[in-house]
Amino acid sequence: MTTANVQETYTKDQQLIEQIRSGDEKSMVQVYQLHKNGFIHWAQINYKIDEASAADAFQDAVVCLYNNITKGKLEHLTSSLKTYLYAIGKNVVRKKLQKPILFHQDELQIVENLRAEPVDSFAENDRQRFVAKLMNTIGEPCKTILQLFYFKGFTMQAIAKAMNYKNENVAKTQKLRCLTNLKNMVKEKFSGDDF
Amino acid sequence: MSKPGESRRDQIDQYVNEQMEAGELADFEQRMRENVALAESVHLHRDVQKGMEYYFLQGLKQDLIRSDAKKPKSKLPTYLAIAATVLIMAGAGLTYYLEYENRSPETLFTAYFEPYPNIIAPVQRSASGQQAGEAMQFYEAGQYAQAITVFDRLISQEPENAGLTFYRGVCYLGNNQPEKAATDFQTVIQSEDNPFLQASHWYLGLSYLKLSHTEEAKKHLAKVRATEGKLADEAAEILSDI
């Protein structure tokens, strides 16, 4: 690969990172589709796993990448996006399928500094898993408001605009009501448990 | 001026999200050690936030899985490989059929249709507000026929409410009544100033796909493509496939 090609790849990768950071989930799907087949083929050959397991690991890797970017843990790439995805994907395969896997130095640096694990392990205890289940039942507009605020980092003003509310105070009141309801349901379920 | 409790809530939020300044942090952690209730509030807030994050990340993973299903073109090589084998026995007509099947308006509709998120806030305490809440509950549960019955009643009271007409249109589409859906979306797009304009052109395009009125579908999807966001990208994908 020539220096010009490397530079072009870096610029494109960095653009994708910026788009994901701005909340553009379409770019995340684009990254996934761009590297999915390559990763599955590579993982099947190197780790002797079936296609479905390789695809599952790669989906987790892309979700981790998204999380690292939106949480501000990954701002500037020091390798190609593909290197990041493969390093995270390898670590997911290692943890999920208990495979003994060796990492190169640059890959080690990536998995040590970023979150690189199966999506299932993002929930650390029963209370967190219960909250995730509750999210399926709380309905709208709570689900969208909480998503915009806690997951996408929208300001109250932006939420008011997105939800067609009169002003940010209405959005703030609604968010507080949704969060309080959620907490009350959790407290009711886990009252007496030691956390 | 902060309301009572607001300052404590903000502090918990800042602490959990690691946004507290160093001086304040030490003081807050000391208070947590001395005050069990405060410590539990912090732990609860952290668990709720992490649980929500886990839920939304699972949702993103589902989006990736769905994106595989939404790629009719990517299935083409497999179809063609099968077709090539069958061709020897059955002749050239099958290739055309399989390719057409892959990109047919009906297939595209199935690949791209999903109900619009509920952005109507059920905060009103009025009778009509409660009925709207009831309609949206049916809507979210995918019980479109029941939702349509409630929407019919509400729209007779508020014919100018674009949101009600829009969601009834989505219900018609989910209930396999694309002609009635198209009529509702046509009504919504009459007004240029409503938050459902882009989405109405999108669903109108999908309604026409379902009805196999491809040229009409293209017209509305092109309007969506000219805007921004997820629907614009998906409209561009469909237009390249038709």
Closest C-alpha to B139, from B118, B122, B121: B118
User: Residues A64-122: pLDDT tens digits?
Assistant: 999 999 888 888 888 889 999 999 999 999 998 887 788 888 888 899 999 999 999 99
> CA separation (Å) from A65 to A17, A29, A41, A78, A108?
9, 12, 20, 14, 15
Residue of B nearest to A29 (CA): B64
Residues in B whose CB is inside 8 Å of some CB of A read 9, 40, 43-45, 47-58, 60-61, 63-65, 67, 71, 117-123, 136-137, 140, 195, 230, 233
Q: Which residues of B touch A92 (CB under 8 A)?
A: none
Residue B47: which of A150, A194, A127 has the closest Cα? Answer: A127
Q: What gap in Å lies between CA B225 and CA B233, rounded to an integer?
A: 7
In A, residues 146-165, which contact B (CB 8 Å cutoff)? 146-147, 150-151, 162-165
Helices (H) and strands (E) in chain A, counts: 9, 0
The SS3 of residue B38 is: helix
Structure tokens at B161: 């409410």
Percent of chain B with pLDDT over 70: 79
Q: Is A116 exposed, middle or buried (0-12, 13-18, 19+ CB in 10 A)?
A: buried
Contacting A residues, span 88-107, partner chain B, CB-CB under 8 Å = none
pLDDT at B88 over 60: no
Half-sphere exposure of A2 (CA within 13 A, CB side): 3
In this predicted structure, the answer to whether residue B89 has a pLDDT above a threshold of 80 is no
Task: Provide the token pair at B133.
Answer: 């809440």
**Cβ-Cβ contacts under 8 Å for A7 (sequence gap 6 or more):** none
Tens of pLDDT along B38-84? 999 999 999 999 999 999 999 999 999 988 876 654 444 455 555 55
Among B40-44, B154-158, B196-200, top mean pLDDT goes to B40-44
Residue of A nearest to B10 (CA): A176
Rounded to the nearest angstrom, the minimum Cα separation between B85 and chain A is 24
What lies within 8 Å, CB to CB, of A59 at 6+ separation is: A32, A119, B61, B64, B65
Q: Is A139 on the interface with B (CB under 8 A)?
A: yes
Quick check: A84 contacting B, CB < 8 Å?
no
Q: Which residues of A touch B60 (CB under 8 A)?
A: 25, 28, 63, 66
pTM, entire model: 0.61
Is residue A131 less than 8 Å (CB to CB) from chain B? Answer: yes
CB B237 within 8 A of CB B209: no
| The pLDDT of residue B193 | 76
Provide the CB-side half-sphere exposure for B114 (13 A, CA). 11
Q: What is the mean pLDDT of chain B?
A: 81
Residues of A in Cβ contact (< 8 Å) with B166: none
CB A107 within 8 A of CB A86: yes
Q: Do A63 and B60 touch (CB under 8 A)?
A: yes
Residue B216's pLDDT band (boundaries 50, 70, 90)? very high
Region of A154 on the Ramachandran plot (φ > 0 left; ψ -120 to 50 alpha; else beta): beta
Report CA dihedral (A147, A152, A153, A157) to the nearest 10 degrees.
-70
Give residues 41 to 60 of A whose Cβ lies within 8 Å of B. Answer: 59-60
The one-character DSSP state at B87 is: H
How close, in Å, is residue A8 to chain B by CA atoms? 24
